Structure 1
Amino acid sequence: MNELKRLPDAEFNVLRVIWHLPNPVTSAQIIGHLGEDNHWKPQTLLTILARLTEKGFLKSERNGRERHYTAIISEEEYMAVETSNFLDRYQGNSLGGLVKTLFSSNALSEDELDELRGLLNK
């Protein structure tokens, strides 16, 4: 597989559902977990699943009449790449710059600050 690239929102949302379901998963299970805000036609979902398979995020196997999908790239792997790309693009690869921006914009809640302190203490 090539270097991981940022996924379009629709593909990411489908992949996030797959990550949080026991794999392998069927398209019917995915549609059931996408929520009522996503009124997708089955063909639209199948197109997205085919794209994710072509990009190397999923493995697809036919089991009877249905296809079963298994995530090849974990959520942790993808999020690590996304975070690195974000830092590189917006903060000149500076974690300190990102944290400074978050503090100055009051974007962090007290719970998030406590979580950050805990991570730093580790």
Structure 2
Amino acid sequence: MSKKIPSISESEWEIMTVLWEEAPLTANDVISTLQERTDWKPKTIRTLLDRLVKKNVVGVNKEQRIYTFFPLYSQDECQHAEAESFVKRIYGGALKSMLVQFIQEDSLSEEDIQELRSILDPKQKKQPH
């Protein structure tokens, strides 16, 4: 059973992206990185960082004079949780419906099709017939 990852807002994803790129970071490091990418005020960034700490998505190292922040979940774990939540909300949990819709509407290259096959083939072999 995978651990339940709290839901992360779009703004909070921005913070997480900075921490996934390089952590641990001080609040000021996060602020300066985000101010290059966004027009957010330092107070906004601090609020989002605090919210992520309260949600237990970001940890704080309080051993130094200046606190540093680090992600408690990998980017993969969070992307997986978000994808699962999206499929449940939009497609009633039916992954197949979502995949069919994407495949029908998106023009897949030969390379994309091969990549999908390479993912699906091993799964097919594991299925009992």
Q: TM-score, normalised by structure 1?
A: 0.80
Are positions 1:12 and 2:19 aligned together?
no
Identify the residue that residue 53 of structure 1 maps to in structure 2: 53
Measured against aligned partners, the alpha-carbon deviations of 1:32-59 in whole angstroms (never above 9, x if no partner) come to 4336341222222111111100000111
Unaligned runs of 5+ in 1: none
Unaligned runs of 5+ in 2: 123-129
Kept after mapping to 1: 8 A contact 2:25/2:69: yes
RMSD, aligned CA: 2.2
Provide the secondary structure at the position in 1 that maps to 2:67: strand
Q: TM-score, normalised by structure 2?
A: 0.76
Larger radius of gyration: 2
Deviation at 1:88, TM superposition (A): 1.2
CA distance in 1, matches of 2:25, 2:74: 15
Are positions 1:73 and 2:45 aligned together?
no
Are residues 46 and 35 of structure 1, via their aligned partners in 2, closer, same or farther at CA, if it must alter by over 3 Å? Answer: closer
Measured against aligned partners, the alpha-carbon deviations of 1:83-110 in whole angstroms (never above 9, x if no partner) come to 111111122222211111002212x542
Measured against aligned partners, the alpha-carbon deviations of 1:51-80 in whole angstroms (never above 9, x if no partner) come to 10000011113322x220011122222222
Q: Which segments of structure 1 move beyond 6 Å, counting only runs of 4 or more?
A: none
Identify the residue that residue 126 of structure 2 maps to in structure 1: none
Q: Which amino acid aligns with 1:36?
A: E
Range that drifts further, 88-97 or 35-44: 35-44
Percent identity, aligned pairs only? Answer: 24
Provide the secondary structure at the position in 1 that maps to 2:25: coil
Output aligned runs, 1:1-122, within 5 Å. 3-21=4-22, 23-34=23-34, 36-62=36-62, 63-64=64-65, 66-106=66-106, 109-110=108-109, 111-122=111-122
